[in-house]
Each structure stands twice: as C-alpha cells, then as structure tokens.
A and B are shown apart, each in its own frame.
Chain A
Amino acid sequence: MKKLVVLGAGTAGTMVVNRLRKLLDANEWQVTIVDQDETHYYQPGFLFLPFGTYQGKDVIKPKRDFIPSGVELIVSPIDVIDAENNSVTLVKDQRVLTYDFLVIATGAQIRPDQTPGLLEHEWHKTIHDFYTFDGALTLARHLEQWQGGRLVVNVVENPIKCPVAPLEFLMLADFYFQDRGIRDRVELVYTTPLPGAFTKPVCNRELSGMLQAKGIQVVPEFQIERVDPDAKKIVAYDETAIGYDLLVTVPMNMGDECIARSGLGDESNFIPVDKHTFVSPKHANIFVLGDAAALPTSKAGSVAHFAVECFAENFVRYIQGSELDPSFDGHTNCFIESGFGKGLLIDFNYDTEPLPGRFPLPGIGPFALLQESRLNHLGKLAFRWMYWNILLKGRNTLLPARMSMAGKMTPHQN
C-alpha cells in the first residue's frame, strides 16, 4: 500500500484529496489528510461579515462533510515534518505518519504579533482585522456602533491573502456608511507599502480611479514599523505618522509555524517550490499547494483551484514514472466587490496582467473584465454556492485551469 499524506484541509488540501481519491486506485493508495481545525471557513466570505451582508453561519461548515470516503481525516496540529525520513509527527498523541508522497497545504495566517502595538490593549477595540472569523465578526459589532471618524486600512507587508480584499473592504465601507447616512462623517484612508493601489499598470489605473471617485484616499509606499495604540496612530519606518479613529489592519501573513520547525520554509515560513509544477526542489516527493507555497502568484482560492487541477493530473503521471509537465501558468481569477451591488472581475497569470474584455466567452461574457457590472457582483455571491458544492468537492468547472487570452483586450487595443 502506498501512502499519500496531505497536510491541511483548507481550500487546497480538500480539493487535492477529492481529486486524487478519484484518480488513485483505492487498493494501492492510502490517503490521509490532517488539520488542526474541525471547521472549514469560506474565507472569501469574511469580507462580507463586517458589513452584515453575511452572518457567521454563512461561512462555516464541518470539514468532515468535504472529505470523501476512502480518505482518513485526522484532527490534530502538526508538530514537525521530517522530510529526510518521509514522516510527519502530529501533536495529538505524538502520532507518526509515514508517507511515500506528501502534499503540504498548511496555508497562511495573519500575524499581528509581528508589528509592535497591534496585539496589545486596543486589539479588537480600536484596532481590528477582517482576515479571521472572530476578527471579522468583532469588527461587525464595532461598525454597528461606530459614529464616524477616520477609518484607516493598513496593509503591513506583502504578500497577503487575496491582495484585492483591502480595496474591496474600503469600497464596501463607502457603500455601508452611505447606506447608514453617515458617509460625510467618515474619512476612508488606504495605506499600503506598494507604490499604488495595485501592482499591475492597467488594473492600477482602473482601481485608483474608482477609489478616487469614491473619496477614498490612498497613501502609497507606507511601510509600517509600529502602532501607537494610545495616541491612535500608525508610524512608518521613515517616521511618517498617520492618525486614526478606527484601524483596520491587514497584518503580516506567514506560513504555519510547523513549517519553520521543520526547516522547510523561507523567512516568512512559505515553502519554495517549482512555480509550474509545485514540486519541492529539495524533495522530489513533496508538493506544496495553496497559500503555503512561496510563489509569485496571489494567495487566493482561485489560484489554489487552478493549481490543484494542474497538479492532480500531473501527479498521476508522475507516480507512473513520467516527468512533471510544467502546466501551471499562475492563472488567477478574482471578483472584486466595488459596492452598491456591483463588482469587477480580473483574470491574469504570471506573464499577463489583468486586462479589460469579456469572460469566459470572448465578446459575450457574461462577465465583464476589469469593468464594474451588476452581474460580476452576482457572480461573487453565487461563487459561495460553487465553492461548497463544486470546487471543494473537486468537481469540474467550466473554467480552464490555464489562462486564455481570448476575449481580452491588450493595452494597445483600448
């Protein structure tokens, strides 16, 4: 019996076991998945919690419901991976799992402890986050009572999960406060270490224009050093300070501590892998999928989805002795909520920046790329159903794993 062990039953890990259980012979392969948490969180839904659009119950389901029969789920934190000896030690009972192949999908977590002043007496009082279930719900309760002032959203450092989420948060906040009739008493400020709202030129132009039109101020190249929770200001390394009444932080994102304990990660506990095949350059039987990988992609569910599709086919060939096909192109596809029942959609990869056009059918859509539409917003809401019922279960979608240029307009055409 050959053994495949998957670490992490989040978006990537769950999709991996669902796809591979179908592709691997049950008489030859034992598949085990490990996670410390019994609950699966629909993380894209966290964005909607602070504004009351979603309630807590809308974004959680038991992990067990998504693990197929023929796969053992073990609920335990991971102590350490011993890559030299092909084994993993779990915290629970110090149980040791040996493997022939290992998939690491332990994700990324926010680390407010990495910025002085964040995780102190004002945490979840005047300083909030929306990247955790508890954080987003606490912020919802705070916003309900809030009577206005300066709301600052700060991104500490990149990479972060879902790089457009902070922009969506601001645009939804603009909508929310208008709806409550207090928009004139709220100042919205976005501070980012990046030189602009988004890194890629065409998308940056579009998003910057939208933020400006909504009266959201962007402070670029702000590299936060610390928070002064009593004076209520964030201070950059160059001593520039910005005051706030309510700070919504997007803390530093890091890979799991078990990666550091295992000596497999970089400075941020993300694991270097081949960017087209996800195989570890040091261990030919270890693959890393989802946010845990140190790759120049967005840390996003759509990336994990396309990556897992490429990986699953490749893995089956690989165990039969074939070379890995460098099939993953960095494909990313994200809906961007812009408030007032509208949204945008972007589709890009390692080499092609987000461009305007129609998706997935050229000229038809129905979704408009890099352009606000009501349908894009409905697409984002419908995505939650698709996530639980199709994506996680490893069923096929109509979306191609590799990005297509069909339907996109290059900068010269628009």
Chain B
Amino acid sequence: MSTREIAGKTVRVNEEGFMTDPNEWSQDIAKIIAREEGIAELSLAHWRVIDFCRKDGISAGKAPTLRRITTHTGISTKEMFSLFPKGPAKKVAKISGLGKPEGCV
C-alpha cells in the first residue's frame, strides 16, 4: 500500500493505482485519474455512471460489475465501452475512487 498526491490531496492507493478509501475521493481527483486513463473530459454521461458507481460502491462495499452498471443505469454495454474504452467496469471504478471490481477469480 502506498500513497500519492492527486489534486492537492494525499490519498492511499494500491499497487495498481486503485484508491483504497472511497472517502478520500473528490470530483477533482476523478478528473485527474480520468485524464490518466485517456479520458480528456468527463461529460454528463460519464458523471451519470460515476455517480451511480459511487453510490452503489459505497453501500455495497465493492465496485459494481459492468452488468450491474448497465442494468441499473440503463446505459448500454456498447455505450459504456465508448465512454470508458477497454474494460469499462475497471476504469470507472478507478475514476470513482473504488477498489478493483471483483468477480474474476
């Protein structure tokens, strides 16, 4: 476990760069991680997904799977791939300050 500074805040991250405490997250942090993940600008559609993941992830104690996101937001899988290319569930979890999604043992 290490720490890094994002948007003027020191946050704890794991070896893959996923934040380990969702309470340390802020919208500014999301914007910076998104840029690192190749998303220059977060649109309203991005925020809709991030908002759902934050709410769901914090109450469930784990990041939602892609299927969970599409079922509950009504956003199609195809659209998720264009919003968060290459592994949308993993990418949105990272941007939302949640751990890596489970379910791939």
Q: B44 at the A/B interface (Cβ < 8 Å)?
A: no
A159, B105: Cβ atoms closer than 8 Å:
yes
Q: A77 at the A/B interface (Cβ < 8 Å)?
A: no
CA of A267 to CA of B81 in the docked complex: distance in angstroms? Answer: 19
Contacts of A225 in B (CB 8 A): 77-78
Contacts of A157 in B (CB 8 A): 67
CA of A407 to CA of B102 in the docked complex: distance in angstroms? Answer: 28
Q: Mark A219-260, 1 if CB is under 8 A from B, else 0.
A: 001010100000000000110000000000000000000000
Query: How many residue pairs, one in A and one in B, have C-beta atoms under 8 Å apart?
Result: 35
Give the bracket for the number of chain B residues in contact with chain A.
Answer: 10 to 19
A268, B67: Cβ atoms closer than 8 Å:
yes
Contacts of B85 in A (CB 8 A): 238
Contact of B104 among A199, A223, A266, A268 (CB under 8 A): A199
A158, B78: Cβ atoms closer than 8 Å:
no
Chain B 67-85 residues near chain A, CB threshold 8 A: 67-68, 71, 77-78, 81, 85
Contacts of B104 in A (CB 8 A): 158-159, 194, 199
B86, A267: Cβ atoms closer than 8 Å:
no
A237, B67: Cβ atoms closer than 8 Å:
no
B contact patch SS? loop
Q: B38 at the A/B interface (Cβ < 8 Å)?
A: no
Q: B8 at the A/B interface (Cβ < 8 Å)?
A: no
Q: A163 at the A/B interface (Cβ < 8 Å)?
A: yes
Chain A 263-319 residues near chain B, CB threshold 8 A: 266-268, 296-298
B105, A297: Cβ atoms closer than 8 Å:
yes
B68, A266: Cβ atoms closer than 8 Å:
yes
A221, B87: Cβ atoms closer than 8 Å:
yes
Distance in Å: Cβ of B12 to nearest Cβ of chain A: 19
Q: A221-B86, A267-B67 are in contact. Are A237 and B105 (CB under 8 A)?
A: no
Contacts of B105 in A (CB 8 A): 159, 163, 199, 296-298, 332
A296, B103: Cβ atoms closer than 8 Å:
yes
Distance in Å: Cβ of B75 to nearest Cβ of chain A: 13
Contacts of A296 in B (CB 8 A): 102-103, 105
Q: A221-B86, A267-B67, A267-B71 are in contact. Are A237 and B103 (CB under 8 A)?
A: no
Distance in Å: Cβ of A42 to nearest Cβ of chain B: 22
Q: Which of chain A's residues has its CB closest to B90's CB?
A: A195
Contacts of A158 in B (CB 8 A): 103-104
Q: Mark B85-97, 1 if CB is under 8 A from A, else 0.
A: 1110000000000
User: A237-B81, A297-B105 given. 6 additional CB < 8 A pairs?
Assistant: A157-B67, A158-B104, A238-B85, A267-B68, A296-B103, A298-B105
